[in-house]
């Protein structure tokens, strides 16, 4: 999957709201094009060799994936 993670991956309205915020944060932090690449290509530390897209598709909370991205990319803690 390329691009932002779609809301249907995690099911439910509330999951979609969190996922929407996740995608917005990715775009704000990394930009649309690079953010899509990060989600599809970067293997997250501590997520069993999964990318952000794969982790979310497997049911990992977007909040947890965002935090992992922040750690991996040295995002200042006040921007988490």
Q: What is the pLDDT of residues 33-63, one digit of tens each?
A: 999 999 999 999 999 999 999 999 999 999 9
- The residues spanned by each domain of the chain are 7-79
Q: What are phi and psi of 41, to 5 degrees?
A: -115, -30
pTM of the model: 0.79
pLDDT of res. 80: 82
Instruction: Indicate the SS3 state at residue 51.
Output: strand
Per the listing, tokens 């691009």 go with 3
Q: pLDDT tens digits for 1-22?
A: 455 555 444 443 456 669 999 9
Contacts of 52 (CB under 8 A, 6+ apart): 5, 26, 38, 39, 40, 42, 44, 65, 68, 69
């Amino acid at each position: 999957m390329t691009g932002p993670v779609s809301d249907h991956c995690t099911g439910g309205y509330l999951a979609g709201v969190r996922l929407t915020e996740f995608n917005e944060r990715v775009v704000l932090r990394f930009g649309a094009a690079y953010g899509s690449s990060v989600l599809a290509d970067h293997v997250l530390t501590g997520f069993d060799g999964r990318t952000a897209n794969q982790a979310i598709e497997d049911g990992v909370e977007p909040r947890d994936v965002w935090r992992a991205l922040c750690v991996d990319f040295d995002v200042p803690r006040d921007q988490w």
